[in-house]
């Protein structure tokens, strides 16, 4: 008599957003529409984004 192997049901793998804990409803994600120089400081990138809003 052969015994069939049993496999436990695995829960689904977490998504990238769940791993990074980015599931908050208050999270805002901004996308650049034009190319920008990513060598700028944080303040420089913030200014570029703020000018677009």
pLDDT for 26: 73
Q: What pTM, to 2 d.p., does this model score?
A: 0.39
Work out the mean pLDDT of the chain and round it to a whole number. Answer: 79
Alpha helices in 1-53 (DSSP H): 16-19, 42-52
pLDDT at 7 over 70: yes
Count the residues in the chain: 53
pLDDT tens for 30-46 read 776 788 888 988 898 88
| pLDDT confidence of residue 30 | 72
Residue with tokens 């805002």: 28
Which residues are within 8 A (CB) of 17 and not within 5 positions of it... i.e. 6 or more apart?
23
């Amino acid at each position: 008599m052969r015994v069939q192997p049993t496999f436990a049901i695995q829960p689904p793998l977490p998504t990238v957003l769940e791993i990074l804990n980015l599931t908050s409803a208050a999270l805002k994600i901004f996308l650049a529409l034009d190319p920008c120089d990513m060598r700028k400081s944080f303040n420089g990138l913030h200014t570029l984004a703020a000018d677009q809003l």
